[in-house]
Homo-oligomer: A and B are copies of this chain.
Amino acid sequence: MNKRKQPARGSGKCPVTFALDIFGDKWSLIILRDIVFKGKRHYGEFLNSAEKISTNILASRLAKLESEAVIVKTRDTQNLSRFVYSLADKGRDLLPLLLDMIEWSVKYDPQPDASGPVISGAPDRLLERLHEDRDALIAEIITGMEERNQ
């Protein structure tokens, strides 16, 4: 009897567990960060992120995130040999969480990168605006992201 095999903890259970099963791994949120803040859309761009994800893991995460409908994979009309990865609604709705995460890290990282925006690629005054007009800020980031996808 194989009692080792654990079922996925996901759907129908606790919302925290549900979320963790989808993006609670070492790389998924990094990829989303790259899409949202760095404007990345292509395989090679993700490969080049500072954290150096390896190609097999990248492929597997993109596939999983696509299968979970967090991102969408479409053929690049400018270059048929590659795809464009962009956020689906389900991925866009992770932006508040991503912002909370950034805010928390900025508050507690003892060695912050002092210069420039709190996360490279993000609008200036990100955290201030997060409190002043949270929803507007989120809308603006999403709009900016979509404009790049034209």
Q: Which residues of A contact B (CB under 8 A)?
A: 9, 11-20, 24-26, 29-30, 33, 50-51, 90, 93-94, 96-98, 100-113, 118-120
Question: Which among A9, A104, A119 has the highest number of chain B CB atoms within 10 Å?
Answer: A104
In the bound complex, how far is the Cα of B101 from the Cα of A18, in angstroms? Answer: 9
Shortest distance in angstroms between A38's beta carbon and chain B's nearest beta carbon? 10
**A128 CB, nearest partner CB in chain B, Å:** 15
Indicate if the CB atoms of A18 and B97 lie closer than 8 Å: no
Residues on B with beta carbons closer than 8 Å to the beta carbon of A13: 50, 113
Question: Given contacts A14-B33, A14-B119, could you give 8 more A-B pairs where the C-beta distance is less than 8 Å?
Answer: A12-B111, A16-B30, A16-B119, A18-B108, A20-B30, A24-B26, A97-B101, A100-B100
* Contact of A93 with B107 in the complex, beta carbons under 8 Å: yes
Contact yes or no, B50 A105, CB < 8 A:
no
Kindly state the separation between the CA atoms of A13 and B113 in the bound complex, as whole angstroms.
Answer: 7
Return 9 A-B CB contacts under 8 Å, by A number: A12-B113, A13-B50, A13-B113, A15-B101, A16-B105, A18-B105, A24-B24, A93-B104, A96-B100
Assuming the A-B contacts A15-B119, A24-B24, A30-B16, are A104 and B94 also in contact, with contact meaning beta carbons closer than 8 angstroms in the complex? Answer: yes
Q: Which residue, of A15, A93, A98, has the highest number of chain B Cβ atoms within 10 A?
A: A15
| Interfacial chain B residues near A110, Cβ < 8 Å | 11
Say how far A67's CB is from chain B's closest CB, in angstroms.
Answer: 13
